[in-house]
């Protein structure tokens, strides 16, 4: 049997004031339970993170404790006086230390929510962001049947830079006949994406391909047959890469770095889209702050693409660019 006092000592790393690290375990050798209740653990964890200037400390504490106990926050609220076991307390403390060192919460709990689905994530993948939900919603508006009587189409979709597969899987979930070609240059990201597709029973409708943007699609006859090309490519500028928030610095560089001006991926994607899209097919891109004019110019250079429609994100920033391939005879 382990001696709780010694285990606790080895975790006494933080030098912080919060009691969750204070050494006061108040334990008995014969008990598996610490003297910490759910309520106390939440309060102390929140205080610990607040002292270390972690944003939303209480929410972080709730999510981490919920993860450790395998419970939702509402479950935790129902049992504020439940005692944590020593192993649960130890696990919580380890997570708190990592979080105080700015490891992203999603990596610590291994999950992130997106479009009402929960995705497995790890440090090899970009963490899905809420603004990308706007991108998915716009693609859905364009591809969903117009009325309940219209049968769903077997749409072909390309997702460039799929990461954990959040865009591809959300689209395939909402469009039950669609086939998604999900590309990423990172084999490690594709592994995570494949696990997510398995979780949602979508492996037969999402084809994962490893490689550089359109390259891995070469062997597949998709010319002029694709209904939508969707991408949230890396778009962080070189200057911004130097000044990333500490949490973002933990995300894969390959998922963020968009070259000198953050535009390199758009410069490569936009000219190739009309080759793949059918007439009336949609190009949908997420873009970075202040990139809109340059991207409008890139699309304007494509004779058979319509002038783009711009959609703002929840913060009012121009975030999504939509452009359709012109139909026959359209100028």
Ligand X SMILES: C[S@@+](CC[C@H](N)C(=O)[O-])C[C@H]1O[C@@H](n2cnc3c(N)ncnc32)[C@H](O)[C@@H]1O
Note the residues at the interface with ligand X (CB under 6 A).
Answer: 126, 128, 132, 160-163, 166-167, 183-186, 189, 212-213, 232-234, 254-255
Beta carbons of 217 and 272 less than 8 angstroms apart: no
How many CB atoms neighbour CB 99 within 10 A?
Answer: 25
- Nearest distance in Å: CB 327, ligand X: 28
- Nearest distance in Å: CB 21, ligand X: 34
Nearer to ligand X, 46 or 104 (CB): 104
Nearer to ligand X, 49 or 226 (CB): 226
Nearer to ligand X, 97 or 272 (CB): 272
- Nearest distance in Å: CB 316, ligand X: 20
How many CB atoms neighbour CB 89 within 10 A?
Answer: 24
Nearer to ligand X, 16 or 163 (CB): 163
> Can you name the residues that pair with 207 across neighbouring β-strands?
181
- Nearest distance in Å: CB 212, ligand X: 4
- Nearest distance in Å: CB 265, ligand X: 7
DSSP class of residue 236?
A: B
- Measuring CA to CA, which residue among 220, 212, 235, 218 is closest to residue 298? 235
CA distance 327 to 317: 30
CA distance 256 to 249: 9
- Nearest distance in Å: CB 264, ligand X: 9
Rama region for 101: left / alpha / beta (φ>0; ψ in -120 to 50; rest)? alpha
> Can you name the residues that pair with 83 across neighbouring β-strands?
37
Element at 83 (helix H, strand E) = strand 83-85
CA distance 310 to 296: 9
b vs e for 32-49, b when ≥16 Cβ sit within 10 Å of the residue's Cβ?
eebebbbebbbbbbbbbb
Nearer to ligand X, 83 or 199 (CB): 199
- Nearest distance in Å: CB 263, ligand X: 14
CA distance 208 to 228: 16
- Nearest distance in Å: CB 169, ligand X: 10
Nearer to ligand X, 54 or 183 (CB): 183
CA distance 285 to 132: 10
């Amino acid at each position: 049997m382990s001696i709780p006092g010694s285990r606790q000592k080895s975790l006494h790393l933080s030098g912080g004031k919060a009691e969750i690290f204070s050494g006061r375990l108040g334990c008995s050798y014969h008990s598996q339970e610490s003297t910490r209740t759910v309520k106390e653990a939440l309060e102390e964890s929140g205080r610990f993170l607040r002292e270390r200037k972690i944003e939303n400390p209480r929410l972080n504490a709730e999510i981490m404790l919920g993860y450790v106990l395998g419970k939702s926050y509402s479950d935790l609220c129902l049992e504020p006086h439940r005692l944590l076991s020593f192993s649960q307390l130890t696990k919580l403390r380890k997570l708190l230390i990592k979080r105080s060192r700015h490891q992203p919460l999603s990596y610590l709990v291994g999950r992130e929510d997106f479009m009402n689905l929960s995705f497995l994530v790890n440090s090899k993948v970009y963490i899905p962001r809420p603004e990308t939900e706007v991108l998915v919603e716009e693609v859905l508006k364009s591809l969903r049947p117009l009325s309940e009587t219209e049968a769903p189409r077997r749409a072909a979709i390309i997702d460039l830079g799929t990461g954990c597969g959040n865009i591809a899987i959300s689209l395939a979930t909402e469009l039950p006949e669609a086939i998604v070609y999900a590309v990423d240059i990172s084999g490690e990201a594709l592994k995570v994406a494949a696990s997510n597709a398995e979780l949602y029973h979508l492996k037969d409708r999402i084809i994962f391909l490893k490689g550089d943007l359109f390259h891995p699609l070469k062997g597949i006859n998709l010319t002029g047959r694709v209904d939508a090309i969707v991408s949230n490519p890396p778009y962080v500028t070189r200057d911004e890469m130097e000044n990333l928030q500490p949490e973002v610095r933990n995300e894969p560089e390959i998922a963020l770095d968009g070259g000198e001006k953050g535009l390199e991926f758009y410069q490569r994607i936009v000219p190739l889209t009309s080759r793949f899209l059918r007439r009336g097919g949609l190009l949908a891109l997420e873009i970075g702050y202040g990139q809109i004019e340059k991207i409008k110019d890139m699309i304007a250079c494509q004779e058979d693409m319509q002038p783009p429609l711009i959609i703002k994100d929840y913060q009012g920033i121009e975030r999504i660019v939509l452009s359709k391939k012109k139909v026959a005879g359209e100028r």
